[in-house]
Amino acid sequence: AILTNADLTGANLSGADLTEAVLRDAQLTNINFENTKLFGSTFVGANLSGAKFTNQSMYGGIFSYAILTNADLSGVNLSRGQIDGANLSGSNLRGIDLTFSYSVNSDFTNAILSDSNLSNADIRSSDMRNANLSGAKLFSADLSRVNFTNAILTNADLNNAEIKYTDFRGADISGTNFANVDLLYQQGLPLSEDMKQQKSELPPECKQGTILFKGECIDEQQRIDEWKKGGCLIATATYGS
C-alpha cells in the first residue's frame, strides 16, 4: 500500500496487513499497531507520536527522521532497522531489539531503554540525555559522540564499545561493564593516573569551522583572512574531526 502523506491520526490499525507499505511523511499519531503486519514497511519522516507497536516484529524497518515521541516500542524487533535522525524522546523502548541498527543522530532523551539490546548498533552522535539504559546490552556498539549526560547505565554491558568523544558526565554507571573499551577520549568516566597523563598530552578536539594551529583551536576563516593579508598559514595545520 502507498500511503505517503496519509492522515490516519487516531486510527486503530490493530490486525491490519501493511506489509511493505510506504507511509512516508504520514500523520500516524496515537495509532494502535498491535498485531499489525508491518514487515518491510517504510515510515520515513512519518509522525508516529504516541503510536503503539508493542512486541511487533519489524526486522529491517525504516524509520529515518520519523517522530516517535512518547511512542511505545517495548519488546519490538527492529534489528538491522534504520532510525537515523528520528525523534524518540520520552518513548518506551524497554526490551527493544536494535542490534545492528543504523541509529545515528537520533534523539533518545528521557526514553526508557532498560533491558534493550543495541549490540553492534551504530548510534553515533545520538542524544541519550536522561535516558534509562539499565541492563541494556551495547556490546560492540559505536557510541562515538553520544551524549549520555545524566543517563542511567546501571548494569549495562558496553564491552568492546566505541566511545570516542562520548559524554558520560552525571551518568549512573554503577555495575556497568566497560571491558575492552578505550576510555581515553571520552568525558565523565574515571581514568587511571597513566590515562590522565596521556589525556593531558592530547591536542584539543577542534569544532567544525576551526583548525588546530600551534596547539590551539582557532577560527578557520579568520586564519585564512590573515594568510591572505600576508600571514603564514601553516600547511600542516590539523583540522578538527
Count the Cβ atoms, other than its own, within 10 Å of residue 139: 20
What confidence score (pLDDT) does residue 189 get?
A: 81
What amino acid is encoded at 89 in this protein? S
100: left (phi over 0), alpha (psi -120 to 50) or beta: left
Of 16, 14, 15, 20, the closest CA to residue 1 belongs to 20
Q: 2 in helix, strand or coil?
A: strand
Residues 154-176: pLDDT tens digits?
Answer: 999 999 999 999 999 999 999 99
Check residue 109 and give its pLDDT. 98
Place of cell 593579508: 229
pLDDT at 117: 97
Which residue in the block uniquely carries the three cell numbers 552522535?
125
pLDDT per residue rounded down to tens, the chain (241 residues): 788 999 988 788 888 888 899 999 999 999 998 888 888 899 999 999 999 998 888 999 999 999 999 999 999 999 999 999 999 999 999 999 999 999 999 999 999 999 999 999 999 999 999 999 999 999 999 999 999 999 999 999 999 999 999 999 999 999 999 999 888 778 888 755 554 555 555 556 666 667 655 556 777 677 667 666 654 444 444 444 4
Estimate the share of the chain in helix, then strand, then coil, as percent rounded to the nearest 5.
5, 20, 75
- pLDDT of 240: 44
| Residue whose entry in the numeric block shows the C-alpha cell 541519550 | 128
Query: Can you give the pLDDT at residue 133?
Result: 98
- The backbone torsions φ and ψ at residue 224, rounded to the nearest 5 degrees and listed phi first, read -65, -40
Strand ranges across the sheet with 216-219: 216-219, 210-213, 238-239
| Cβ within 8 Å of residue 118, ≥6 positions away | 98, 99, 101, 103, 136, 137, 138, 141
**How far is the CA of 12 from the CAs of 31, 64, 178, 217, in angstroms?**
6, 23, 43, 54
Residues 125, 47: Cα–Cα separation, whole Å: 22
Q: What is the pLDDT of residue 108?
A: 98
pLDDT of residue 208: 65
Strands, E assignment, 82-153: none
What cell does 241 get? 574531526
Chain segment 176-190, per-residue pLDDT in tens = 999 998 887 788 887
In the prediction, which pLDDT does 79 show? 94
**The residue type at 163:** I
